[in-house]
Amino acid sequence: MKLYIETVGCQMNELDSELVVASLRKDGYELTNNPHDADTILFNTCSVRQHAEDKIYSALGRLKNAKREHPNKVIGVLGCMAQNHQGIIFKRAPYVDLIVGPGQLHQVPALVRDIRAEGVTRTQRMEVSLGRNDGSRDQIERSHESFDPLRDPAMRPTPYQAYVRIMIGCDKFCTYCIVPSVRGPEQSRSPSAILAESRQLAAEGCREITLLGQTVNSYRFQEGDRQWRLSDLLVALHDIEGINRIKFVTNYPKDMTNDLLAAVRDLPKVSKYLHIPLQSGSNTVLERMKRGYTVEDYREMLLRTREWIPNVAVSSDFIVGFCGETDAEFQLTMDLVRESRFKNSFIFKYSERPGTKGATLYADDVPDEVKRRRNNELLALQNQISEEDNHAFLGREVEVLVEGPSKTAEKASAADSEAPATASGPIQLTGRTHCDRIVVFDGNPRQIGQTLPVTIYDANAHTLFGEVVTRHSGVELFTLSVTKRSEPASQKEALSILK
């Protein structure tokens, strides 16, 4: 049987899809890239912005005829939009068979099995978790289950990288955000489960793990009389042989404690890269967003972070055009971005989410063209900063974990099926530095998964371009590009520098 799955949204969703695929594989499914070939079609959805939901409804619309022609196909909507819209999805797309919220995904294989057994006379199934006001904290928590032990390497970003969930849910209730409603209460996973899963991933060849949580640095787990924090977890994970890099996303600014900063500074495997969303540079907007900190608090946190961790790269998220945002308030965001020098920022136009405090309390009154203009203005500023900071890497050597063929190499190999990306000849590769900067360089497919020294010779806002450094007996002789061999003159030059 064939499964087609489409995933939108955050890394949490990507991980959820990996787990769903793993569980369906146990039922004999294999993946297909073509929805028309598939016996079961699943959409793992996102509700953070309206646009993400609209895209799923259009994708469902395109399946209407396919379902009429092949009524045995199972069509399912999973994830945040399933929890958010529930039965509305059946109303808008009556041919959908299955709706499963993010806290109920462990039920997917049994539900698909039951639906298939019923044939064309099937009844629709919906499994969602309790809403935030539909029971006691304990009941609501238990209705949000995650089933992390099953993994599927084919669904990972690369065979060398994997996500590991350390907590689910969120209790921060920022007024714009739907996540606390759809992903339920904040719950941390036990350190023993996290360590066991990470050891297993290392044994399977994973070199980099990214710990996931909506507010990952709020992690707390009480084990007897010991309380585990994220910093304790990092120390324990650091001992796992085979894991070379540890990252974690996303951080909540108020929980950036010194024990965590010390762990990032002192543990060599932990990336000196921190994603700490600021959202706005105006105190009045932050107040309306109920982010729980002021600009002054954030600035203190950022200074402290940079003091504790030299060369740390910090990135951020921003929402422009939040309810009532004036030009003056927006300019405060511009000022703070200019001052903060983030490595990069993800910038979003505010999208009103029914059911959030923001939608009830405030009018979505910033016109779309103003949101668009502010988005472009902030993006241009951030790009200028990113480019300037990337230029500081020119001539420097960085350590790159090689992820795979670059986008250009992938396109070339797709256009020319005679030269697949897995061939052994030279190829453009992409990878990331320890501080999460993207590096493109010429290399060889067998270098994928390795950590290599690369010297940077060019840079733009998003990418560093480099050449692999070749060393002999631990002594650097010269830099050698695999496709363009260095000129003898430059080799001599490099040798004379060594003398």
Binding footprint of ligand 5AD on the chain (CB under 6 A): 48-49, 176-177, 277, 279, 317, 319, 348, 350-351, 353
Q: Which residues contact 148 (CB under 8 A, 6 or more apart)?
A: 19, 164, 165, 189, 193, 197
Residue found under tokens 């462990």:
106
- Contact (CB, 8 A) for 375 and 349: yes
CB of 102 or CB of 277, closer to ligand 5AD: 277
Q: Out of ligand SF4, ligand 5AD, none, which partner does residue 317 contact, by CB within 5 to 8 A per kind?
A: ligand 5AD
Nearest approach, Cβ of residue 46 and ligand 5AD (Å): 9
Site for ligand SF4 in 164-193 (CB under 6 A): 170, 172-174, 177, 179-180
Nearest approach, Cβ of residue 182 and ligand SF4 (Å): 10
132 binds ligand SF4 (CB under 6 A): no
CA 481 – CA 78 distance, rounded (Å): 46
252 binds ligand SF4 (CB under 6 A): yes
Nearest approach, Cβ of residue 179 and ligand SF4 (Å): 4
Q: Out of ligand SF4, ligand 5AD, none, which partner does residue 49 contact, by CB within 5 to 8 A per kind?
A: ligand 5AD
| Distance, C-alpha 31 to centroid of its chain | 22
246 binds ligand SF4 (CB under 6 A): no
CB of 132 or CB of 341, closer to ligand SF4: 132
Encode 26-58: b = buried (16+ Cβ within 10 Å), e = exposed: eeebeebeebeebbbbbbbbbbbbeebbebbbe
- Cis peptide bond upstream of 433, omega within 30: no
Q: Out of ligand 5AD, ligand SF4, none, which partner does residue 170 contact, by CB within 5 to 8 A per kind?
A: ligand SF4
Q: Out of ligand 5AD, ligand SF4, none, which partner does residue 74 contact, by CB within 5 to 8 A per kind?
A: none
Nearest approach, Cβ of residue 127 and ligand 5AD (Å): 25
Task: Supply 272's token pair.
Answer: 């000196």
CB of 253 or CB of 449, closer to ligand SF4: 253
215 binds ligand SF4 (CB under 6 A): yes
∠ CA 278-393-466, rounded to 5°: 115
Q: Crossing angle of helices 295-308/258-266, nearest 10°? A: 30
- Contact (CB, 8 A) for 489 and 495: no
SS (H, E, C) 191-203: HHHHHHHHHHHHH
Binding stretches for ligand SF4 (CB under 6 A) = 170, 172-174, 177, 179-180, 214-215, 252
